[in-house]
Structure 1
Amino acid sequence: MTPKHTDPAARTDGADGAGKKPTLIVVHDKKGAPPSEVAVPLVWARCVFVIPATDEARGVAPVLAAFGEVVEMDPDAVEETADRLRAYAPDGIITYCEQLQRATAHLAELLGLPYHSRETAELLTDKWQQRAVLREAGVDSVRTALIHTEDDWAGAVAHVGLPAVLKPVHGVASGNTFHVPDEATGLGHLREVLALDRPGLVRGGGLVLEEYLVGRPTGPYGDYVSVEIAVVDGELYTLGVTGKPPLVPPFRETGRFWPSPFGRAEDEQCTALARSAVAALGIRTGITHTELKLTARGPRLIEVNGRLGGGIQDLAVSAMGLDLIAYAARIALGGTEPPALVPVEGVHFQLLLPAPRRPCTVVAAEGAKEVWALDGVSNCRFYVRPGQVLDGGVATDEVGRVNGVVADHGTYTALVERIDSMIRLGFAFVGESEPRFVDGTELSSL
């Protein structure tokens, strides 16, 4: 089955009748998507890339500079950056990075450009405030408690109950997010995270203890989905419901696929809840990524993200020929055309190979060539090489990825089992005399 592709430049791209390129401010960082993956779909625009003034962010500057001008931004001097950007006469502004949504909203306000309002950007990046607004709007009622010090722990547990989930207020990719089955385990995680200078995206910021949503049986699939929505001048367009493989402990993602395997009725329930949440948060523009847990009571909200979800760009291009990076940019430039959606044929998937939770050194990464040769696999890449040191941690991080397209969900699950059996990875852990070698199935236990 061959994925359908279209040329984003062949669609309405915001250029004027004379062919002048629109000027787009793209706020980016190393922690976002690879710079070329963001820049290449935007070659039809005059891009001015804004990066934080950090050594880490400067690492992506040479690649970005091949596609446009690069401006550094001091997060504590956003007004000064806005003054510099006015010289470019920008037509729009966007970010594809979770951690830069607030700064982008601030720049947008100063430059008079459409984006999330600063209030909305705050709600989208603050898990405590987001839950409070959604409860007040009657969208969902997950119990939560805010924790700043260990003294807040007992009251939080009494209010939320156990089991629960402990996470940073300002977090991303399940970083420092833990399952709390009992008070002793939770208190240990709490002390561990409170000791960090930056538990989430910002220094301090507090933690949230949140009701643990028990998923209904959904094997062999994960008990959660995400709903992708484009918001164009306040109008909501559902792009798709994304199915997931099961999470691995504590809450690490292992992939995604289109379409969802749960059928139209459940997809419609999930879509309705996601749309209500997006509206309640005051989102008027851009692309959103809303995660939902599938429970015996129906779908429940995990969180709403105000940007394109990780990996969704690849799924949309493969399944519908829809370049969402380019489409989101056109929205930012004032475009009002709805997304060009087509029925999804087959199952388009990404299989993520999770990195170990403990620090280690990679000693082997084998099987990519053999996996790539399988029917239905379009790409297989390892992101690590022997000798590379991995920092560990509980965030969703990848050592490799497999992409592909197959005829149906049954074929997909059988192919994933075969892929897992063919991959061989080896890691040397501190304090262990011999390296550990695992296949894809065993990888999630490390």
Structure 2
Amino acid sequence: MRKTLVVVYADGAAHPGDIAVGLAPWADCVFVAEPDAHTRAMEPLLDRFGPVVLTDSVPEAARRLRAHAADGIVTYSERALHLAAALAEQLALPFHDRGTIGLLTDKWQQRAALSAAGVDAVRCRRIDTLADWDAAVAATGLPAVLKPAHGGGSRNTFHITDAAAGRELARTLLGDDCPGLVAGGTLVLEEYLPGRDCGPFGDYVSIESIVQGGTVTDLAVTGKFPMVPPFRETGRFWPSPLGAAEDAACRDLARRAVEALGVRDGLTHTEIKLTPQGPRLIEVNGRLGGGINELSVRAQNTNLIELAGRVALGERPDLPAFYQGRAYFQLFHPAPRTPGTLLGIDGADAVKRLPGVTLYRPYARPGTALPGGVQTLELDIVMGEADDVPELAAIVKDIDATLRYRFAFGDQGPREVTGAGLGAL
């Protein structure tokens, strides 16, 4: 007998088509979302796979959902975690409890809880008003990282090296109605963790895990390509480039962090910084990481959207072995921080012919106005595979030398850069 699963949807979630591929063949889905421009645009697509409840009232959503007699609830979106927890409470369905949701979504609360549990003590202070700035800088020291307390996608995340400049930046962000993922201007300032030299790869990784009844099982360690300033991601790959000892240390830190936050069931995506003194925690996310399901499907034919859905329904699905096979990658190129217009992307046909490249997909057309700012806004994505991680490094170097991006920035005239130089803009 098919069970019914409530899927709480929001901007930033897995694509509705991917959710349908993972869930529709074996479960009946009911989608619920808060009404906004994105969810209204996606409603016709969601409606193809199941009933859609659009409301900004939790009691109203719960009333309408009761008619479907749901057996479980799941979300694949950071933005939707609070709504999912509130609905789970109303419907008496298993999910992260409200205390755990607070620790997963508020970066200051999470740092405080992990420090209290002895997992990892990173100096961190909450900034509710500009009056908190001086004490925060005194506590964390400089350099430091300033970001929204509830944030994602590297939006409004800054590297602070000067206290006066940081104060003005904090003033601007505090004046923003929504500098992060939720309304309200609360920020955090935290100790900057310098990374070690990781060669052609990024100085951080993420640990992808599934939690069942409080037991954490690691699925993979995800390697990263180098960030571009200030903290914008450029891609990921399986498996990571870490040696056995560092891999084990990262996985142990991630497991202890997930347990300390009280996660009982579901997917987790834990980011770890690789420092000269060893792995340090960046943050724990209580949901599927961006792009991770696509890597999992290609690398080992395991759909993590399905896996999370089955766990949400109380099943004990067979889990894949920890991934250590061929290298599969996603490389993307971020839009400039300076507002401008994309004039064109050259080299796409040549990139498609490169050994190891299986897909090139542009996300922005010539003539697209780019807003600038500090966030992860992708111009395109390149996917592919290699026999191993060293071969992967050579493929990515060829890709970045082949792609060329042309922009217009105000009255400055056209400017062209390769993929390798794009992050400096």
**d(CA) in 2 for partners of 1:235, 1:310:** 23
C-alpha contact (below 8 Å) 2:62/2:91 kept by paired residues:
yes
1:301 aligns with 2:284: no
Alignment correspondent of 2:245: 265
Alignment correspondent of 1:198: 178
C-alpha contact (below 8 Å) 2:203/2:274 kept by paired residues:
yes
**d(CA) in 1 for partners of 2:212, 2:346:** 44
Alignment correspondent of 1:230: 210
Deviation at 1:205, TM superposition (A): 4.4
1:128 aligns with 2:108: yes
Q: Specify the code of the residue in structure 2 equivalent to 1:51.
A: A
C-alpha contact (below 8 Å) 2:342/2:406 kept by paired residues:
yes
Deviation at 1:273, TM superposition (A): 0.3
Alignment correspondent of 2:416: 437
Farther off after superposition, 279-288 or 397-406:
397-406
**d(CA) in 2 for partners of 1:260, 1:224:** 10
Q: Specify the code of the residue in structure 2 equivalent to 1:66.
A: R
**d(CA) in 2 for partners of 1:176, 1:342:** 34
- SS state of the match for residue 250, structure 1? coil
Alignment correspondent of 2:34: 52
Deviation at 1:343, TM superposition (A): 4.6
Alignment correspondent of 2:310: 330
**5 Å matches for 1:249-260?**
249-260=229-240
Residue by residue, what CA displacement relative to the aligned partner does 1:13-59 show, whole Å, maximum 9, x if unpaired? xxxxxxx3211111112332322122222122211111211233201
Deviation at 1:375, TM superposition (A): 1.6
Alignment correspondent of 1:382: 362
Match for 2:335 among 349, 352, 355? Answer: 355
Farther off after superposition, 49-58 or 273-282:
49-58
**d(CA) in 2 for partners of 1:30, 1:175:** 14
Alignment correspondent of 2:14: 33
**d(CA) in 2 for partners of 1:167, 1:410:** 34
- SS state of the match for residue 258, structure 2? helix
Alignment correspondent of 1:8: none
Deviation at 1:369, TM superposition (A): 2.5
Deviation at 1:368, TM superposition (A): 2.3
Q: Specify the code of the residue in structure 2 equivalent to 1:310.
A: G
**d(CA) in 1 for partners of 2:361, 2:155:** 23
Alignment correspondent of 1:217: 197
**d(CA) in 2 for partners of 1:222, 1:387:** 31
Match for 2:133 among 150, 153, 160? Answer: 153
Q: Specify the code of the residue in structure 2 equivalent to 1:252.
A: R
Alignment correspondent of 1:6: none
C-alpha contact (below 8 Å) 1:365/1:425 kept by paired residues:
yes
Match for 1:96 among 73, 76, 82? Answer: 76
1:117 aligns with 2:97: yes
Alignment correspondent of 1:169: 149
Residue by residue, what CA displacement relative to the aligned partner does 1:285-332 show, whole Å, maximum 9, x if unpaired? 000000011112110000000001011111111111111011111111
**d(CA) in 1 for partners of 2:19, 2:418:** 32
Q: Specify the code of the residue in structure 2 equivalent to 1:68.
A: G
Alignment correspondent of 1:279: 259
C-alpha contact (below 8 Å) 2:176/2:185 kept by paired residues:
no
**5 Å matches for 1:368-407?**
368-407=348-387
Deviation at 1:223, TM superposition (A): 0.8
Alignment correspondent of 1:178: 158
TM-score, normalised to structure 2's length?
A: 0.97
- SS state of the match for residue 80, structure 2? helix
Deviation at 1:177, TM superposition (A): 0.6
Alignment correspondent of 1:70: 52
**d(CA) in 2 for partners of 1:60, 1:33:** 12
Alignment correspondent of 1:22: 3
**d(CA) in 2 for partners of 1:40, 1:274:** 29
**d(CA) in 2 for partners of 1:262, 1:375:** 24
Deviation at 1:236, TM superposition (A): 1.0
- SS state of the match for residue 337, structure 2? coil
Residue by residue, what CA displacement relative to the aligned partner does 1:353-387 show, whole Å, maximum 9, x if unpaired? 11111222211023223212222111111101011
Unaligned 5+ runs, structure 2: none
Farther off after superposition, 99-108 or 332-341:
332-341
Q: Specify the code of the residue in structure 2 equivalent to 1:141.
A: A
- SS state of the match for residue 59, structure 1? helix
**d(CA) in 2 for partners of 1:63, 1:414:** 39
Q: Specify the code of the residue in structure 2 equivalent to 1:224.
A: Y
Deviation at 1:338, TM superposition (A): 4.1
Deviation at 1:351, TM superposition (A): 0.5
- SS state of the match for residue 10, structure 2? coil
Pair 232,338 (structure 1): closer, same or farther in 2 beyond 3 Å: farther
C-alpha contact (below 8 Å) 2:33/2:53 kept by paired residues:
yes
**d(CA) in 1 for partners of 2:423, 2:41:** 30
TM-score, normalised to structure 1's length?
A: 0.93
- SS state of the match for residue 60, structure 1? helix
Farther off after superposition, 31-40 or 232-241:
31-40
Alignment correspondent of 1:86: 66
Deviation at 1:173, TM superposition (A): 1.0
Q: Once the two structures are aligned, what percentage of the paired residues are identical?
A: 53
Number of residue pairs aligned between Structure 1 and Structure 2? 424
Q: Specify the code of the residue in structure 1 equivalent to 2:142.
A: L
**d(CA) in 2 for partners of 1:297, 1:437:** 39
Farther off after superposition, 212-221 or 130-139:
212-221
Q: Specify the code of the residue in structure 1 equivalent to 2:54.
A: E
C-alpha contact (below 8 Å) 2:219/2:322 kept by paired residues:
no
Alignment correspondent of 1:418: 398
